[in-house]
Amino acid sequence: MVQQNRITARTNLLGLIGHPVDHSLSPVFQNAALNALNLDYVYLAFDISTGDLMDAVRTLRTWRLKGINVTVPHKEKIIQWLDRLDDTALLLGAVNVVVVKDEELVGYNTDGIGFAKALDFNQINLNGKQVALLGAGGAARAVLSVLIERGVRKVIVFNRSFERSLQFQQWAKNSFATVIEIDNWESFINGQSSFLSQVDVLINATSLGLSQEIIEVPWNGIDNCELVIDVVYNREETPLVREARKKGKKAFDGKMMLLFQGAESFRLFTGFEAPIGVMEKALNEALR
Ligand SMILES: NC(=O)c1ccc[n+]([C@@H]2O[C@H](COP(=O)([O-])OP(=O)(O)OC[C@H]3O[C@@H](n4cnc5c(N)ncnc54)[C@H](OP(=O)(O)O)[C@@H]3O)[C@@H](O)[C@H]2O)c1
């Protein structure tokens, strides 16, 4: 919990912007970390509609915020009002952290680091694996950058909008000189994609599952799949993780990714290494 009595006229303000944000657990674990290190900051959540985004970004300096996390649906749109992006945010074309540095708004992306550390936490080696990646948005781009770094053999992307799959494929070619396969969403759902029998790992980077939506996975068609990763997280298991575990597969959700991207955000905001144990404890308590 935030210790209200430590807030003074000099307390620094951090925040999260998105729409909606009331489900977010970032304020819980960011404030726990700030309190643990006795840093004079407070972290709040702001529900900003897309129509208000430009005004909100332009006034970050006016309100002397030190930094913000950015979540759905603003990660791409916000870029046009920032002064500078670091290399990762530039590569991914999406920003989830803005630091206000000497009046400059600098954009970063810590989702990839979050995903990479979640793989390490779960002792996952993806070298040589064939991966079915669901989704072609910002999270999918962060995930793909890590999959390539980790030496996967093949990636097949399935996305609801095929147009976006094509853009994603082109982006991967331009950014990593890598050719990824794409197939349409329906041929994933109905199990007809010829790629499915080769899949070792299934990763969901769509927003399905946030509100307990079920992804119709053709489990019989992906017999060889040994691992299921969901970037979505929920208070309970996500439906995908629940279903995968029932089928006897190793599976984990986006909770640790959230925590590790948050820890990296904390370092960018404050200059201090995040007390990860404190953050994890606060997150688990909030999820209970
Ligand atoms: N754990 C973490 O730390 C972490 C970090 C980042 C993101 N995330 C989660 O990852 C998810 C995606 O985020 P994002 O930034 O990539 O969002 P985004 O850029 O808006 O992309 C959303 C993706 O979900 C797909 N989608 C949405 N509704 C769908 C539906 N009804 N059926 C099939 N596909 C659907 C979209 O397909 P179309 O292209 O067809 O619209 C698109 O591929 C969110 O739930 C977010 O909370 C988690």
Residues 120 and 239 in one domain: yes
Residues 228 and 276 in one domain: no
At 108, the pLDDT band (50, 70, 90 cuts) reads: very high
The pTM (predicted TM-score) of the whole model is: 0.96
At 3, the pLDDT band (50, 70, 90 cuts) reads: low
The answer, yes or no, to whether any atom of ligand 1 lies below 6 A from the CB of 221, is no
At 236, the pLDDT band (50, 70, 90 cuts) reads: confident
Q: Is 246 annotated in the active site? A: no
Cβ count within 10 A of residue 209: 23
pLDDT exceeds 80 at position 101: yes
Residues 122 and 167 in one domain: yes
Residues 128 and 241 in one domain: yes
Helix (H, G, I), strand (E, B) or coil at 286: helix
The answer, yes or no, to whether any atom of ligand 1 lies below 6 A from the CB of 117, is no
Residues 248 and 156 in one domain: yes
Helix (H, G, I), strand (E, B) or coil at 132: strand
Residues 166 and 194 in one domain: yes
* Ligand 1 binding pocket mutation candidate from 185, 206, 279 (most atoms within 8 A of CB): 206
Residues 243 and 268 in one domain: no
Residues 135 and 87 in one domain: no
Residues 117 and 230 in one domain: yes
Q: Which domain holds residue 158?
A: 113-253
pLDDT exceeds 80 at position 20: yes
Q: Among the options 66, 75, 173, 247, which is catalytic?
A: 75
At 4, the pLDDT band (50, 70, 90 cuts) reads: low
The answer, yes or no, to whether any atom of ligand 1 lies below 6 A from the CB of 95, is no
pLDDT digits (tens, 9 = 90+) for 251-268: 999 999 999 999 999 999
Domain of 96: which CATH number? 3.40.50.10860
Its sign, for the CA torsion 263, 269, 275, 279, is negative
Domain of 245: which CATH number? 3.40.50.720
As a whole number of angstroms, the distance between CA 70 and CA 98 comes to 7
| 213 Cα–ligand 1 center, Å | 12
Residues with Cβ < 8 Å from 123, sequence gap 6 or more?
none
Predicted confidence at residue 279, as pLDDT, reads: 98
Structure token digits, residue 113 = 């680091």
Structure token digits, residue 205 = 């980077």
Predicted confidence at residue 23, as pLDDT, reads: 87
**Nearest ligand 1 atom, CA 206:** 24
Q: Which of 30, 27, 9, 26 is nearest to 272 (CA)?
A: 30
Residues with Cβ < 8 Å from 187, sequence gap 6 or more?
158, 193
Residues 124 and 185 in one domain: yes
The answer, yes or no, to whether any atom of ligand 1 lies below 6 A from the CB of 19, is no
The answer, yes or no, to whether any atom of ligand 1 lies below 6 A from the CB of 166, is no
Residues 83 and 209 in one domain: no
For residues 122 and 98, the answer to whether their CB atoms sit within 8 Å is no
pLDDT exceeds 90 at position 5: no
pLDDT digits (tens, 9 = 90+) for 177-212: 999 999 999 999 999 999 999 999 999 999 999 889
Number of structural domains the chain divides into: 2
pLDDT digits (tens, 9 = 90+) for 124-157: 999 999 999 999 999 999 999 999 999 999 999 9
